[in-house]
Structure 1
């Protein structure tokens, strides 16, 4: 059970990256609210603050609308 009992929207937010050689790497994992733009903004800003200098060339998501809204910012 990944979701907290007090809020069924609680989930793990995961960002994977792929190197130029095609190797997959876990870039970020944190808890957040599913479909929450604010939760996705927090994880994306954390990546920036940890040194991500260039925007990704490609983003693929599972339909979480909050992710797509945050990515635009």
Structure 2
């Protein structure tokens, strides 16, 4: 009977360690996925800003080009 109780105690300890390790690995995985998503969102926002800046500069250039044509005529 004592061997059976000892086996239960070891098994319970093993399960606790496995559950703790699983929680750590799962938490790390979730954290890395969240961080990766935030990094991707940050990169997309920066790309959108660059595209907006290019569009504004292009509009300004087209406006200057149009005014130069009017002056030349």
The normalised TM-score by structure 2 is 0.22
- Where is the helix percentage greater, Structure 1 or Structure 2? 2
Structure with the higher fraction of residues in strand conformation: 1
